[in-house]
Amino acid sequence: MNFDYNEEQQLLADSVKRFIGKDYGFEERKKIVASDKGYSEDVWGTLAEMGLLGLPVPTDHDGFGGGALDMMGVMESIGEGLVVEPFLATTMSAQFVSRAGSDAQKKALLPQIVEGKLKMAFAQTEKGARYNLAHVATQAKKSGGGYVIDGEKAVVIHGPCADKIVVSARTSGGTTDARGISLFLVDAKASGMTMKAYRTLDELRACDITFKGVSVPADALIGKEGEGLALIEEVVDYGTALVCAEAVGAIKSTNDATLEYLKTRKQFGVPIGAFQALQHRMVDMVISYEQAKSMACLACDKADSEKDPAERKRLVSAAKVRVSEACRHVSQESIQLHGGMGMTEEMKVSHTFRRLTMIAQQFGDIDHHLERFAG
């Protein structure tokens, strides 16, 4: 398959890269991370103005109708710049609405996302689930003209930043049954919902959410009641493909920084990059980058085009395994080649190391996806 961007994709990727290079440098990012919100409203507005928030939204609702392949360049730039704004969380949540939402939900939410007026998050993970998307113990029971939600969700990435949250809850069946899972739109300030917010290892904002008698109207249901698992798997595969593309950008940034360090750091009067053993290690890092990029491209292509769910899962898992291996290899090698200073807060490579470490776990670690690939 062709791994090169078309003209439009390349122009978009270049514009995002210019923005990151000019207005989202490492020092600016540190200030954003240290702020109360953990993200910048100004940066979020710029992402909307550039059309990035509308890229994956259907054209019927003010978007551009782009797929995961169209998002690759954007995600690579996000990975390269270690962007902490809730872009992926909002994009994934918007997919639930655009793929299965009612006309009223689409009209109410999608144009607001495009304009940058609405941020969203996806609350799926629960304690003990171990990446099993069918593990949903949170309950949603019918009450009057709507539903009442009770339960807990863990590590909701960008939950503290969100205005609305897509919540998976069980309307029937046992904790791990494939059927009986439904999806609901819940206001982030809904009565009965409490958040315990914190900063993750890779400096994103996340939270654990407790639902106690949270009432939502009937029209908060996304798609058909009890049939949400297939949609969750579809959107999570989409998100997995995008995070693979993000990893590619982060890996490139790490490789560039490490190569520059090898050229400038001197030992015994010569740059350490002159030592053949270190050259070989740098070459291996570049090979990992190229392999990760090709597999991320495969994942994005299959997330867009593969109609057979089993085949889509298999190929996305294959990509996630290889990308996760590349994350581990490149991040650890970069720290080794930088020496002790590679772990300091002042070096961007240490922050990239953390993000790559988390990407390797996000949406499933290597063991999970190897098992999923084997079927």
- Domain containing 107 — which CATH number? 1.10.540.10
Query: Hey, which residues does 181 pair with through a beta bridge?
Result: 170, 227
Sign, CA torsion 166/167/170/174: positive
The pLDDT tens digits of the residues spanning 49-58 come to 999 999 999 9
From CA 230, how far away is CA 244, in angstroms rounded? 21
In degrees rounded to 5, what are phi and psi of residue 155? 50, 60
| Run of H or E residues at 353 | helix 348-359
CA distance 2 to 241: 17
DSSP state of 121: E
Q: Is residue 296 included in any domain, yes or no?
A: yes
**Strand bridging mode 221-222 / 139-143:** unpaired
CATH number at residue 215: 2.40.110.10
**The Cα angle at residue 42 between residues 10 and 186, in degrees rounded to 5:** 95
| C-alpha torsion angle, residues 294, 282, 84, 149 (rounded to 10) | 60
pLDDT at 2 (0 to 100): 61
Residue 85 has what pLDDT? 97
Please give the average per-residue pLDDT across 338-352, as a whole number.
91
- The amino acid that residue 11 corresponds to is L
pLDDT at 1 over 60: no
Give exposure, 257-269, as e/b (b: 16+ Cβ within 10 Å): bbbebbeeeeeee
Percent of the chain with pLDDT over 90: 90
Q: Identify whether residues 19 and 61 lie together within a single domain.
A: yes
Domain boundary among 174, 189, 222: 222
End of a domain among 88, 119, 150?
A: 119
> What is the mean pLDDT of the segment spanning 354-363?
97
- Whether residue 281 lies inside any domain: the answer is yes
Which of 192, 210, 121 is CA-nearest to residue 160?
Answer: 121
Answer yes or no: do 151 and 166 share one domain: yes
| 2: in domain | no
Query: Is 64 in the same domain as 149?
Result: no
User: What mean pLDDT is reported for the chain?
Assistant: 95
Which pLDDT score is estimated for 325?
98
Position 129 confidence tier, pLDDT thresholds 50, 70, 90: very high
Whether 58 is covered by a domain: the verdict is yes
Q: Is 227 helix (H, G, I), strand (E, B) or coil?
A: strand
Pair 110, 145 in one domain: no
* Number of structural domains in the chain: 3
For residue 5, pLDDT over 80 is answered with no
Q: CB atoms < 10 A from the CB of 369, how many?
A: 24
pLDDT digits (tens, 9 = 90+) for 28-50: 999 999 999 999 999 999 999 99
CATH number of domain containing 313: 1.20.140.10
Residue 13 in domain: yes
Cα 164 from chain centre? 17
CA distance 79 to 329: 17
* Other CB atoms within 10 A of residue 182 CB: 24
**Are 73 and 48 in a shared domain?**
yes
Name the residue among 160, 161, 137 with its Cα closest to residue 149: 137
Q: Is residue 1 part of a domain?
A: no
Range of the domain at 11: 7-119
The Cα 75–Cα 89 span in angstroms is 12
Instruction: Give me the DSSP letters along 146-211.
Output: EEEEEEEEEEEETGGG-SEEEEEEESSS-TT-SSSEEEEEEETT-TTEEEEEEE-TTS-EEEEEEE
244-258 residue pLDDT tens? 999 999 999 999 999
4-8, 138-142, 143-147, 222-226: lowest mean pLDDT where?
A: 4-8
Is the predicted pLDDT of residue 183 greater than 90, yes or no? Answer: yes
- Contact residues for 294 (Cβ-Cβ < 8 A; gap 6+): 3
CA distance 372 to 109: 33
Q: Do 105 and 149 belong together in one domain?
A: no
Claim to verify: residue 83 and residue 115 sit in the same structural domain: yes
What percent of the chain clears pLDDT 70, i.e. is strictly above it? Answer: 99
If asked whether residues 51 and 138 sit together in one domain, one would say no
> Which of 153, 188, 222 is the endpoint of a domain?
222
Q: Are residues 186 and 243 in the same domain?
A: no
Q: What are the tens digits of pLDDT across the range 148-176?
A: 999 999 999 999 999 999 999 999 999 99
Residue 228, judged by CB atoms within 10 A of its CB (0-12, 13-18, 19+), counts as buried
**Residues 85, 30 share a domain:** yes
Let me know if residue 153 belongs to a domain.
yes
Q: Is residue 351 one of the residues assigned to a domain?
A: yes
Same domain, 282 and 323: yes
Model pLDDT, residue 35: 96
Q: What is residue 338's three-state secondary structure?
A: helix
Q: Based on the domain organization, do 290 and 350 belong to the same domain? A: yes
